[in-house]
């Protein structure tokens, strides 16, 4: 996507004017609100499945997270880059598409947005216990869930790095949020029931903190961060052209013009 990962650039290539990059404070606020909206929709799907099980299934939960992510990237991607995920920020930093100096602030903003979303859902739906907390399926070991989280987040970063940061990619630009949200919808549908379906440390840590249940949270911190780092590193290698004549310098994504 033109704006995803590149905060402050124009929203479309045909626009005539280039706006100055928003300040870090504005970008962090956009990350808080965007993460809140993304998680609120996903958590609401979980809460609805618990309180009204006949009205929504696992597909509805996956839609809440997948479409919620796509909508929030459309809403705020041109301001903050629309990460909403510490693993994404880490992967883009390792891939030299985001500055390391801003990573702690983005991580803090994503956790604040996640905690606000978890608290809001608990306030609306009442005490949901640990329903919002990620955990592996009953017959799945922690190591199996960890591997699934690593692989899924690794693939997620490859998709993001392509459609959001590489102009050669087929869906680079305005449709990138669809590809990114579509990946989360797919992964939450086919992997989520087995691994717990996090792919996002903030998505797991926020409800674990509010519910006071931290026993399995290490899986969803280590797995996505390792997968995100590997995905960002691999795509950084793949994106470099093979001959010296084809190689060109590309600025970090947040550098103002």
61 phi/psi in degrees, rounded to 5? -65, -45
Q: pLDDT tens for residues 73-108?
A: 999 999 999 999 999 999 999 999 999 999 999 999
pTM of the entire predicted model:
0.86
* Residues 107-128: tens digit of each pLDDT: 999 999 999 999 999 999 988 8
d(CA 48, CA 70): 20
Structure confidence at residue 170 (pLDDT): 77
Backbone angles phi, psi at 189, to 5 degrees: -75, -45
Q: Alpha-carbon dihedral of residues 72, 152, 210, 73, nearest 10 degrees?
A: -10
The Cβ of residue 107 has, within 10 Å, a number of other Cβ atoms equal to: 18
Q: How many residues does the chain have?
A: 257
Looking at CATH, the fold of the domain delimited by 24-238 is given as Glycerol uptake facilitator protein (1.20.1080)
pLDDT of res. 172: 76
Nearest to 12 by CA among 70, 71, 74: 74
- Give the confidence band of 41 by pLDDT, cuts at 50, 70, 90: very high
Sign for the CA dihedral angle at 29, 5, 58, 210 comes to negative
Torsions phi, psi of 52, nearest 5?
Answer: -135, 70
- Average pLDDT of the segment spanning 174-182: 94
Give the residue with greater pLDDT, 54 vs 37: 37
Task: Indicate the average pLDDT of the chain.
Answer: 87
Residue pLDDT, tens place only, 11-22? 333 233 445 789
Q: Name 68's Cβ contacts closer than 8 Å, sequence gap at least 6.
A: 37, 38, 39, 40, 41, 42, 181
Q: Which residue has the tokens 């006949």?
A: 54
pLDDT tens string 125-143:
988 888 999 999 999 999 9
Least Cα distance to 216 among 140, 135, 148, 149 occurs for: 135
> Helix, strand, or coil here: 148?
helix
């Amino acid at each position: 996507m033109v704006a995803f990962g590149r905060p402050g650039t124009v929203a479309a290539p045909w626009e005539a004017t280039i706006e100055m990059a928003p300040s870090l404070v504005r970008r962090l606020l956009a990350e808080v609100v965007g993460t809140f909206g993304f998680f609120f929709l996903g958590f609401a799907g979980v809460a609805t499945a618990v309180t009204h099980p006949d009205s929504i299934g696992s597909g509805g939960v996956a839609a809440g997270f997948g479409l919620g992510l796509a909508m929030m990237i459309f809403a705020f991607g041109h301001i903050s880059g629309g990460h909403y995920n510490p693993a994404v920020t880490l992967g883009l930093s390792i891939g030299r598409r985001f500055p390391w100096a801003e990573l702690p602030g983005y991580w803090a903003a994503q956790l604040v947005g996640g905690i606000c979303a978890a608290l809001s859902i608990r306030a609306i739906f009442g005490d949901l216990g640990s329903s919002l907390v990620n955990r592996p399926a009953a017959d799945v070991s922690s190591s199996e869930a960890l591997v699934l989280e690593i692989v899924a987040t690794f693939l997620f970063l490859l998709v993001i790095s392509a459609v959001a940061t590489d102009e050669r990619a087929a869906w680079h630009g305005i449709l990138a949020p669809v590809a990114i949200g579509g990946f989360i919808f797919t992964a939450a549908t086919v992997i989520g029931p087995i691994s717990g379906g996090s792919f996002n440390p903030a998505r797991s840590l926020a409800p674990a903190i509010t519910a006071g249940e931290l026993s399995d949270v290490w899986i969803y911190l280590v797995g996505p961060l390792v997968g995100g780092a590997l995905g960002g590193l691999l795509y950084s290698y793949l994106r470099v052209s093979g001959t010296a004549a084809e190689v060109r310098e590309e600025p970090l994504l947040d550098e103002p013009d």
